[in-house]
Amino acid sequence: MIPIKNILFLLSGASSFIIFYMGLVNYITAIESSTGWILLVFATIVAAGTLLSTVYISKSITKPIEKLAENMTEFSKTNKITNKKPINTNIKEIYELNKNFESMGEKVEKTISVQQEYVEKLKQIDKKKVEFSSMVSHELKTPLVPILGYAQMLQKQELMGKLNKQQIDAVDEIYSSAVKLQRLVGDILTTQKLDLGKLDFNQENIHIAELLNSIIKEFNPIAIEKKINIINKITKDEIIFSDKDRINQIFSNLIKNAMDFVEPKKGEIIIGADNDKEFIKFFVKDNGIGISESNQKEIFKKFYQIDTSTSRKRNGSGLGLAICKGIADGLGGNIWVESKEDVGTAFYFKIPKQPIKVNSKK
């Protein structure tokens, strides 16, 4: 970009030189020396006048325009008109331009500050809302402890007396509903902590082969009951430094989901881990109903559940995958899905092998 001042001086310099040069040529070639002198003096005065008027124009027009341009650049960077440099001009158009720019700037600055206030207020309200519901969920957890405890004591009939068949069914129902409620409250609390950036992580050495074996062990009884084959396909054992319980939580959510969407007897779930440079890439693959491309984009959002006949039969709140994503992100990794309808689904999540900076209780 060439500054307007340079163009002005270039033009006036060139024209002054041409005028003076023409005067000089006339002086040299004039038949009468007096006429030559007059023309030379005249040309010199005109050339000097051109240069002087350029200096004047530069001072009174280009300087304020330059300042105005600087003010505009500063305003576009900071959105603050108060930082402007004062512009003194007696040129009407520039004066009007500056005045309009200043009043427009003041309006924009005011609107932006009002908007920021609103955003700040909304953030505060949002935080209060999350804190309130977090408190409610916390309070809900407390009465669940005696409900579960007494239901378990009633189930063990030797402690509180014999129950008839109807009473046993009722107590079993109370117990399983309380367990579901406890899980839901736990999931809501975890999601809220994730939203507030308050979920804590503990990092420790993890033997991934051991971790996968313990997960398989945990899910084997239910897999046998549902006639689902659950396979461990770890390629190589490694030790990573991360949060064992949280990685376990991701696997649990993914395996529970997979179990719900595969067909009993034909169902197959493969879990495992691959080396991926400075990460370990864990996976849970199934040969279930699959997830359409449009739903793949949505399933990691809170409370999102796909409305299919299979889904409708399930319990659940649509928080499982949102929690998996929050944990994977919090541990410095990521999670994604690859799926084909009627073929199956594979969830992958990458976790760094080395320690990273996390929210920690310690």
Q: How far is Cα 145 from Cα 133, in angstroms, rounded to an integer? A: 19
C-alpha of 349 from chain center: 18
- Beta carbon nearer to Mg ion, 118 or 336: 336
How much of the chain is in helix, strand and coil states, percent to nearest 5?
A: 65, 10, 25
**Are the C-beta atoms of residues 182 and 151 closer than 8 Å to each other?**
no
C-alpha of 305 from chain center: 22
Q: How far is Cα 320 from Cα 253, in angstroms, rounded to an integer? A: 6
Least gap, CB of 191 to Mg ion (angstroms): 13
| Span from 54-62, 142-150, 189-197, 251-259 in contact with Mg ion (CB under 5 A) | 251-259
Strand, helix or coil for residue 82: helix
The residue number whose beta carbon is nearest to ligand ATP equals 320
Look up residue 322 and give its amino acid: A
Residue 250 near ligand ATP by CB under 6 A: no
**Are the C-beta atoms of residues 86 and 96 closer than 8 Å to each other?**
no
- Beta carbon nearer to ligand ATP, 155 or 311: 311
Name residues contacting ligand ATP, limited to 253-282 (CB under 6 A): 253, 257-258, 261
**Which residue matches tokens 């000089």?**
24
| Span from 78-86, 129-137, 205-213, 315-323 in contact with ligand ATP (CB under 6 A) | 315-323
Q: How many residues bind ligand ATP (CB under 6 A)?
A: 22
Least gap, CB of 272 to Mg ion (angstroms): 20
Helix H or strand E segment including 8: helix 4-29
**Among ligand ATP, Mg ion, none, what does residue 305 contact (CB within 5–8 Å per kind)?**
ligand ATP
Q: Kindly state the tokens that stand for 160.
A: 């509180």
Residue 182 near ligand ATP by CB under 6 A: no
- Beta carbon nearer to ligand ATP, 12 or 191: 191
**Among ligand ATP, Mg ion, none, what does residue 147 contact (CB within 5–8 Å per kind)?**
none
- Beta carbon nearer to ligand ATP, 243 or 286: 286
**Among ligand ATP, Mg ion, none, what does residue 330 contact (CB within 5–8 Å per kind)?**
none
Site map 287..306 versus ligand ATP, x via CB under 6 A: -xx-x-------x----xxx
Residue 317 near ligand ATP by CB under 6 A: yes
Residue 320 near Mg ion by CB under 5 A: yes
Q: Rg of the Cα trace of the chain? A: 39
Residue 316 near ligand ATP by CB under 6 A: yes
**Among Mg ion, ligand ATP, none, what does residue 187 contact (CB within 5–8 Å per kind)?**
ligand ATP
Least gap, CB of 306 to ligand ATP (angstroms): 3
- Taking each continuous run of H as one helix and of E as one strand, the counts in the chain are 11, 7
Residue 157 vs residues 63, 168, 172, 173, 175: alpha-carbon distances, Å: 96, 9, 12, 16, 14
**Among Mg ion, ligand ATP, none, what does residue 251 contact (CB within 5–8 Å per kind)?**
none
Residues paired with residue 272 on neighbouring β-strands, in sequence order: 283
**Which residue matches tokens 């340079």?**
6
Q: What residues contact 146, with CB distance under 8 A and at least 6 apart? A: none
Helix H or strand E segment including 339: strand 334-340
- Beta carbon nearer to ligand ATP, 290 or 332: 290
342 φ, ψ to 5°? 65, 5
Kindly tell me which residue out of 54, 203, 257, 339 binds Mg ion, with binding defined by CB under 5 A: 257
- Beta carbon nearer to ligand ATP, 36 or 320: 320
**Which residue matches tokens 């009627």?**
342
Residue 242 near Mg ion by CB under 5 A: no
Least gap, CB of 219 to ligand ATP (angstroms): 14
Residues that bind Mg ion (CB under 5 A): 257, 320
Residues that bind ligand ATP (CB under 6 A): 187, 253, 257-258, 261, 286, 288-289, 291, 299, 304-306, 311, 316-322, 345
